[in-house]
Amino acid sequence: MKSYEKSDSFMKKKGRIKVDTEYQVETEKTETETQISLKEDEICMNEESIQLCKDEKEMLMEKLKKLKEKEQDLAPTRLNTGGR
């Protein structure tokens, strides 16, 4: 094999390695971007879930407040009727 043939063969291999490496990097980059997007979606869903829990807690706190007020309204009545 002549030196220019060796050089040509080497350049082709080098070119293929570069293309393969570029493909691998691009593939990993795309996979990483996809994972980031999935994590962002997961965070958003968790934030929505947290907000839903906070809203439900607020409604329950309001309900408890009203029940306590009702209990206070009934307390004097119970004393006047002998506990009935």
Q: 84, 78 in Cβ contact below 8 A?
A: yes
pLDDT tens figures, 6-51: 677 878 888 899 999 999 999 999 999 999 999 999 999 999 999 9
Q: Residue 52: what pLDDT?
A: 96
List the chain domain ranges: 1-84
Q: Residue 77: what pLDDT?
A: 65
Q: 41, 49 in Cβ contact below 8 A?
A: no
Q: Is 23 left (phi over 0), alpha (psi -120 to 50) or beta?
A: alpha
Q: What is the DSSP string of 19-63?
A: HHHHHHHHHHHHHHHHHHHHHHHHHHHHHHHHHHHHHHHHHHHHH
